[in-house]
């Protein structure tokens, strides 16, 4: 979603589902796996004013399908084709929200003349490298450096016309031949969901792992963004794109940079290349609009920013975010004279792959010495489990932090290797064959520790501890605090320059009165930001500075703390139930990032004049008050004083350089194309239909020699979650009631396939690919 909107987070929230007119659930069994979210959809369904309709699109008929108004099946891996047909239907029938599209999106922007698309390949494809040169995927600029536009949307080089041309191949018959969806059902879906383009209607899209866990998962979500922008469903109550997470704290994990390519708050992480050699180079590389501006230091940059930087958006403040982060990490050691200790940040190697698979491939080759596994079980949950188990044997040491000994913690045992299936590269080992030293640290369960958890809708809520940990179990915060102190103690006497990042790192989280437990409010204060001079909270990220006077561990959390009556107030602890809007915003229940906005991009909830609701819509979220500021039920996702006299008044997507929602993803926003395009999966038995490419041309294939041929592996399968178990089951398989309810893995087959294979109900089967097999 970030290349389309500027942020990758869920745009609305669970309670807001009650405000929608039509909900499209795709790639999710929401009724079983997210019952609290489903509760709010059902509230909308039984509201006589709203009468919410529910559409379910999924390869399987599930309990969500059973309560949907329309269920439409589709073949696994064909989501882009399904949605591409919806885009064509909207455009052909002029069902798009015209005022919204023209004012709030890049539909009118012109694209360079050398951009092209032929036979499934976008311009710039390098066959030898298997990647794109994305320089042609950019806007046209006039002599003054302004993006050229055609407000009539007729120019063949405008985004609108290029999009129309791109999806002209996705007619209903072609789409149904790809997806396998019944034509009549598909047409019902199109008609119902596209009715939300009416100004008094909104529609939301809800998705889960069925959308993201593909080689084209990001493009699947990008296809959602095109549909929602065309229909005018972003930034409005009852609209949005809602990611239904598989964990209660997935949002917090991504916020805190557990993805390898970012720092906390979604700031780009640097690589060990010349483009990131120092702080000024980093800022020049990561801040839109400043790359070619003449500055050599932060003072010069501040002057340029004060004068106005074209096509930068809110990311023009990147220098403030990174400097405040460095001050939080390195304290007094971070000064303007030493680039605020920027050189202390570990830099990624451009030639290395730091994804899950990339790391396990490196372990398998013996390139990694040690591994921490915290609340994860890759021997069960990772791809090619046998290979991942073998990779762990190549380590010198491994630490597992979990509630119970799981398969990954015990990968070295006789039992673990009896589970492994022998093949040409995986041989059964015994403990004496394995040199990896394994440490197991028992962890506290979720209710045995305190802390915050940002839920799927970005609401940050504090959880108080309900019980003491069992036995020697410890909270994760205690474990990492002790680990940090011990590492610093080991290096305390070192004078080597390479050890300075450890020695100079701030690490002051102990309780104030010698308590064994660390002070979680110290962590909160660092994350949410404070002024260096007095340690008091910074009230919002607009107040962060790049001069070293503020420190903030995660800029998007800035404003989560405040100072009142001589003490710090942590807003995620708020529990007030007032909802003056009636829209389910509950502004004083917990706190939402950014700055307590419950629905982001909410400038779109009113017409371009900033005041008038969309015709027939009574659910506007914010408005221009006429007295020089934005006001509303929600916190405006906009610079508060940007009025009708400013060019950015109709630029609601403030995290995008151009301020607009993007149908066309420019430059390297996406590595595999500016428009989503359907490609068959690598081992699909179905030949390509809409283009000539057998698969996504830039997809990484780790073991090409193991491609399954359709003659040997003709069956298309999908995976799904069950209510009784959570992730790899390390927790739920140790709870007797749940283990009894769902004791074993199983396979669901169609009656026709079972008959062809001679398989009866309850029979044991072997599910196999060229990479391994498993009994179920």
Kind of pairing, strands 203-207 and 22-26? Answer: parallel
- 497 burial class (0-12, 13-18, 19+ CB within 10 angstroms)? exposed
Query: Residue 211: CA atoms inside 13 Å, Cβ hemisphere, count?
Result: 30
pLDDT at 423 over 50: no
Per the DSSP assignment, residues forming a β-bridge with 518 are 510
21 pLDDT band, cuts 50/70/90, is very high
What mean pLDDT do residues 161-185 have? Answer: 98
Q: Tell me whether residue 256 is in a domain.
A: no
* pLDDT more than 90, % of the chain: 85
Q: Give the pLDDT confidence score for residue 513 in this predicted structure.
A: 62
Helices (H), 200-241: 209-212, 217-231
Task: Say how many residues make up the chain.
Answer: 776
Q: How high is the pLDDT of residue 424?
A: 43
Q: pLDDT tens, 573-629? A: 999 999 999 999 999 999 999 999 999 999 999 999 999 999 988 889 999 998 899
Residue 134 lies in a domain: yes
DSSP 530: E
Using the 3D structure, point to which of 204, 219, 247 is the last residue of a domain. Answer: 247
What Å distances lie between residue 736 and 129, 727, 729, 730, 733, CA to CA?
A: 52, 17, 12, 12, 7
User: CA nearest 666: which of 135, 131, 143, 8?
Assistant: 135
Task: Reply yes or no on whether the pLDDT at 494 is more than 70.
Answer: yes
- Locate 734 and state its tokens: 């140790």
How far apart, in whole angstroms, are the C-alpha atoms of residue 709 and residue 684? 9
What's residue 178's pLDDT?
A: 98
Q: Residue 69 and residue 45: Cα distance in Å, rounded?
A: 10
Res 246: pLDDT: 78
* CA atoms within 13 Å, Cβ hemisphere of 440: 15
> What is the arithmetic mean of pLDDT over 77-95?
97
pLDDT at 120 over 70: yes
| Cα–Cα distance measured from residue 187 to residue 170, given in angstroms and rounded to the nearest whole number | 13
- Domain end: 180, 215, 247, which one? 247
Distance (Å, whole) CA 182 – CA 189: 11
**419 confidence band (pLDDT: 50, 70, 90):** low
Counts of helices then strands in the chain (DSSP H, E): 24, 25
Position 250 scores a pLDDT of 87
Q: What is the pLDDT of residue 775?
A: 86
Asked if residue 335 lies in contact with residue 546, where contact means CB atoms within 8 angstroms, the answer is: no
Averaged pLDDT, 84-94: 98
Tell me which residue range forms the domain holding 131.
14-247
Structure tokens given for 242: 């809602």
| Token reading at 112 | 């360079």
Tell me: pLDDT of 266 over 90.
yes
Confidence at 175, pLDDT banded by 50, 70, 90: very high
Asked if the structure places residue 93 within a domain, the reply is yes
What are 476's two structure tokens? 């994760």
In 317-365, alpha helices (H): 318-330, 356-364
Strand partners, 207: 26, 243
Domain boundary among 226, 247, 268: 247
Percent of residues, the chain, with pLDDT higher than 70: 98
pLDDT at 669: 77
**What CATH number is attached to the domain comprising 184?**
3.40.228.10
Q: Which of 122, 348, 214 is nearest to 699 (CA)?
A: 214
Quick one: which of 660, 542, 543 has its CA closest to 6? 660
The answer to whether position 149 is within a domain reads: yes
pLDDT digits (tens, 9 = 90+) for 179-235: 999 999 999 999 999 999 999 999 999 999 899 988 898 999 999 999 999 999 999
pLDDT digits over 369-390, tens only?
999 999 999 999 998 888 899 9
Does residue 556 lie within any of the structural domains?
A: no
Domain contains 32: yes
What CATH number should be reported for the domain holding residue 767?
2.40.40.20
Asked if residue 654 lies in contact with residue 6, where contact means CB atoms within 8 angstroms, the answer is yes
Query: Looking at residue 116, what is its pLDDT?
Result: 97
| 399 is a domain residue | no
Mean pLDDT rounded to a whole number for the chain: 94
- What does the longest C-alpha to C-alpha distance in the chain come to? 77
Rounded CA-CA distance 62/40 in Å is 19
- CA–CA distances in Å: residue 378 to residues 202, 445, 592, 738: 40, 19, 32, 21
Q: Is residue 119 part of a domain?
A: yes
Cβ atoms within 10 Å, residue 1 = 20
Q: How many domains does the chain have?
A: 2
């Amino acid at each position: 979603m970030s290349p389309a909107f500027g942020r990758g987070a869920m745009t609305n929230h669970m309670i807001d589902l009650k405000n929608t007119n039509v909900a499209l659930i795709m790639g999710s069994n929401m009724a079983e796996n997210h019952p609290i979210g489903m509760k709010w959809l059902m509230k909308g369904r039984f509201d006589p004013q709203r009468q919410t309709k529910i559409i379910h699109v999924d390869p399987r008929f599930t309990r969500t399908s059973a309560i949907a108004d329309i269920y439409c099946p589709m073949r696994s891996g064909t989501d882009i084709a399904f949605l591409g047909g919806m885009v064509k239907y909207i455009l052909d029938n002029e069902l798009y929200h015209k005022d919204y599209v023209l004012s709030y999106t890049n539909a009118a922007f012109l694209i360079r003349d050398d951009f092209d698309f032929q036979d499934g390949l976008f311009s710039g494809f390098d066959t030898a490298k298997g990647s794109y040169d994305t320089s042609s995927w950019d806007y046209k600029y006039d002599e003054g450096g302004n993006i050229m536009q055609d407000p009539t949307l007729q120019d063949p080089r405008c985004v609108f016309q290029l999009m129309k041309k791109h999806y002209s191949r996705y007619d209903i018959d072609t789409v149904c031949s790809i997806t396998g969806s019944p034509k009549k059902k598909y047409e019902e879906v199109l008609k119902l969901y596209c009715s939300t383009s009416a100004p008094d209607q909104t529609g939301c899209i809800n998705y889960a792992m069925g959308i993201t866990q593909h080689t084209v998962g990001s493009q699947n979500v990008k296809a959602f963004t095109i549909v929602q922008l065309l229909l005018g469903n972003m930034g409005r109550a009852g609209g949005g794109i809602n990611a239904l997470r598989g964990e209660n704290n997935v949002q917090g994990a991504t916020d805190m940079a557990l993805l390898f390519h970012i720092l906390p708050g979604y700031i780009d992480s640097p690589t060990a290349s010349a483009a990131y050699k120092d702080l000024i180079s980093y800022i020049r590389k990561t801040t839109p609009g400043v790359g070619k501006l003449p500055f050599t230091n932060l003072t010069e940059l501040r002057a340029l920013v004060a004068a106005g930087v074209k096509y930068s958006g809110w990311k023009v403040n990147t220098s403030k975010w990174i400097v405040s982060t460095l001050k939080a990490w390195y304290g007094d050691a971070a000064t303007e004279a030493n680039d605020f200790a920027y050189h202390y940040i570990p830099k990624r190697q451009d030639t290395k792959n730091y994804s899950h698979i990339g790391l396990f491939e490196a372990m398998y080759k013996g390139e990694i010495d040690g591994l921490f596994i915290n609340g994860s079980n890759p021997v069960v949950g990772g791809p090619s489990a046998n290979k991942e188990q073998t990779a762990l044997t190549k380590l010198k040491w491994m630490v597992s932090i979990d509630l119970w000994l799981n398969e990954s913690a015990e990968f070295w045992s006789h039992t673990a290797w009896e589970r492994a299936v022998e093949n040409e590269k995986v041989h059964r080992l015994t403990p004496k064959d394995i040199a990896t030293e394994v440490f197991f640290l028992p962890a506290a369960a979720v209710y045995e520790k305190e802390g915050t958890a940002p839920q799927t809708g970005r609401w940050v809520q504090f959880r108080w501890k309900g019980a003491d940990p069992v036995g020697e179990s410890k909270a994760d915060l205690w474990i990492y605090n002790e680990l940090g102190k011990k590492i610093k103690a080991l290096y305390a006497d070192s004078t080597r320059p390479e050890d300075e990042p450890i020695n100079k790192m701030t690490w002051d989280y102990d309780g104030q009165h010698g308590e064994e437990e660390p002070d979680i409010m110290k962590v909160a204060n660092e994350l949410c930001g404070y002024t260096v001079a007095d340690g008091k909270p910074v009230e919002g990220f607009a107040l962060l500075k790049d001069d070293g006077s503020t420190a903030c561990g995660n800029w998007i959390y800035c404003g989560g703390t405040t100072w009142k009556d001589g003490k710090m107030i942590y807003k995620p602890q708020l529990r007030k139930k007032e909802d003056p809007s009636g829209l389910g915003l509950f502004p004083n229940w917990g706190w939402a990032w950014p700055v307590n906005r419950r629905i982001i991009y909410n400038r779109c909830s009113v017409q371009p004049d900033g005041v008038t609701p969309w015709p027939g819509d009574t659910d506007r979220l914010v408005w221009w008050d006429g007295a020089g500021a934005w006001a509303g039920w929600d916190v405006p996702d906009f610079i508060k004083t940007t009025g009708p006299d400013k060019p950015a008044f109709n630029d609601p997507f403030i995290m995008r350089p151009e301020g607009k929602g993007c149908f066309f993803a420019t430059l390297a926003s996406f590595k595999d194309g500016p428009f989503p395009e359907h490609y068959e999966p690598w081992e699909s038995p179905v030949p390509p239909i809409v283009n000539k490419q057998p698969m996504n041309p830039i997809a990484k294939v780790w073991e090409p020699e193991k491609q399954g041929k359709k003659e040997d592996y003709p069956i298309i399968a999908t995976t799904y979650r069950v209510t009784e178990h959570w992730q790899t089951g390390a927790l739920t398989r140790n709870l007797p009631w749940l283990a009894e309810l769902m004791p074993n893995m199983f396979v669901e087959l169609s009656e026709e396939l079972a008959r062809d294979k001679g398989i009866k109900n309850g029979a044991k089967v072997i599910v196999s690919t060229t990479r391994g097999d498993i009994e179920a």
